[in-house]
Structure 1
Amino acid sequence: MPVTLRQLDVLVAVVDEGGFGAAADSLRMSQSAVSHSLAALESMTGAPLVVRAPTIATTPLGDAVLAHARSVLASVRALEATVDLHRHDAMIGTVRLAAGVTASHRLVPELLSRWRAELPGLDVRLFEGSDEELQTWLDTGAVDAAVLNDPDPIHHGAVVLARDDFRAVLRADHPLAGETRINLGDLTDDPMLVSTSGCEPQIMTMHAMAGFPYVPAQRVHATTTLLGMIEAGLGVAIMPALALTMLTDNLVMVVLDQHLERTLVFTGPSGRPWHPSVERMRDVAQATTKPG
């Protein structure tokens, strides 16, 4: 029995939605139809693809099949969009876009507004993740486009959206909060707080530039948690300049002597043809952004 696109859709939806009922709602199917479709796929593969209790989780085989399913479905979305563009000469349908926290807070909202104005038939869905997750999602087809942090190499057809540098984030009553520029060495007595959701490699590089060991006191995932810890007086952090708008009145950002920039790039996947709407989104972004 050949694998069907519907079966792949069901597998992805069950995993992403975390259950059969939610997957059924997402796909506008009955729950029994979702269960039957996944069971048929598992019958064809000869082994379970998901563990159903206590929570939905993929098996090792399920992980492998899921990666192929995402890639196939992404290609099908791009194919359908190409045909729609030929028939209607308009951007319609859904595009999945991934971005990191600071890009989602500052850059992406402006782009979403521009895309809505210039590509009104397009529905852009934003998925926020860590730097590592963004690249994986793009490679596997979980998303159609992404705003990547310092991709190496930059994919053909990608455009640079912005460049910013890394700065110290301190509580407003910190002794160095009023300085216009400080050295990373000035912060060696302060606990270093780091977010694992992005930019940790750059922070490690900055410590190497300053000649100090990288020894974070706390590593947390969420940027909001990191900012809350700084505000509580638990330490200091290094963050990209774009994060300035995320700071409360109790926090300040100070330029560091160890100057290091990052580049934020809008791109489609490197291993398969781009969704045609992603190409149009790229063109709009290129015309409306001024990397600096």
Structure 2
Amino acid sequence: MNRLLVLETIIQMQSFTKAAKVLGYTQSSVSQMVAGLEKEFGIQILKRSRNGVSLTAEGAEIYPLIIQTLRQYQALQERAAALTGLKTGTVRIGAITSVSCYWLPELFKSFKEMYPNIEFVLQQGDYGMILTWLKNGEIDFGLMTANYGEGFNKVILHTTEMKAFLPSGHPLTKLDQIPLRKLTSDPFILVEGGGYAEPIEAFQKSGLLPNVRYRIQDDYTIMSMVEAGLGISILSELVASRTNFDVQVRSVEPKIERPVAIIYRDKATLPIASQHFIDFLIQHKKELL
């Protein structure tokens, strides 16, 4: 299993040297373990280039199975540990920016107070990335909107509102609630998550077409652009809860809501630590703002 873990770390770090440092091996040992895997499977798994290390076409074919094998072994280890209580384990989560920034730090802290030896691996990404990680077994579960991810199990934690973000002094800031049709003239900065875009769907449902000038994945970049007067946007209300950007936030009509959910395949097959953390999230969902 060590060789599989080494391979996963190399892919994550995109470097033999960095992977060796993280895992506490020599670079020579790491290279030998990968060479042993390639010899065992009879294919070249990795290739090196100026941009770092990546999977070959053949490596990409078997990598999801390698990750699945690793997770099953780790689940076995944690299941054995669970017989004497939840002492160790790793929780692998994929989350959208607003959730990873505004919810998870305090939740991680509270959970680790109860289980100090539990480790968290957090990957921040858009909707498309999170769904891909779930399919490939790279994460145990995702935290994102429940509107996407057909075929996965979902538990809604909280329904947040998506609001209009405007530069200070914009004429529409005089309104407490802005009709969606009034947001179609200004340059629109679209928050897009791997091909999924809730604001676009809201405009389409109302028979409207926004003037999309920019497509950005990062909420903070969008707020900076709005502050600079480059356009307007629609973002989660969570983003407005902790920001020093000079922007104005208003509700839109009709209201756009985003149900944030835990998304996973089969809870029973997840590592024990992840099962416990999912239960913890559900127990504390009323505390989420």
- 1:98 deviates by 1.6
Alignment of 1:1-292 (within 5 A): 5-54=1-50, 55-86=52-83, 88-150=84-146, 151-153=148-150, 155-156=152-153, 158-197=154-193, 200-270=196-266, 273-290=269-286
Equivalent residue of 2:224, what SS?
helix
Residues 281 and 142 of structure 1, relative CA distance in 2, 3 Å threshold = same
TM-score w.r.t. the length of structure 2 is: 0.91
Gaps of 5+ in 2: none
Equivalent residue of 1:217, what SS?
strand
User: Which structure 1 residue ranges, 4+ long, deviate > 6 Å from structure 2?
Assistant: none
Residues 154 and 39 of structure 1, relative CA distance in 2, 3 Å threshold = closer
What is the aligned-residue RMSD (CA, Å)? 2.2
CA distance in 1, matches of 2:151, 2:165: 29
Question: Which amino acid counterpart does residue 30 of structure 1 have in structure 2?
Answer: T
User: Comparing both structures, which one devotes a greater share of its residues to strand?
Assistant: 2
Residues 196 and 259 of structure 1, relative CA distance in 2, 3 Å threshold = same
- 1:246 deviates by 4.3
Percent of residue pairs bearing the same amino acid type? 23
- 1:170 deviates by 0.6
Gaps of 5+ in 1: none
Equivalent residue of 1:70, what SS?
helix
- 1:148 deviates by 2.5
Does the aligned pair in 2 maintain the 1:138–1:144 contact within 8 Å? yes
Residues 271 and 60 of structure 1, relative CA distance in 2, 3 Å threshold = farther
TM-score w.r.t. the length of structure 1 is: 0.90
Does the aligned pair in 2 maintain the 1:164–1:240 contact within 8 Å? yes
Question: Which amino acid counterpart does residue 256 of structure 1 have in structure 2?
Answer: V
Residues 200 and 240 of structure 1, relative CA distance in 2, 3 Å threshold = farther
CA distance in 1, matches of 2:133, 2:149: 16
Equivalent residue of 1:47, what SS?
coil
- 1:53 deviates by 1.7
Equivalent residue of 1:177, what SS?
helix
Equivalent residue of 1:36, what SS?
helix
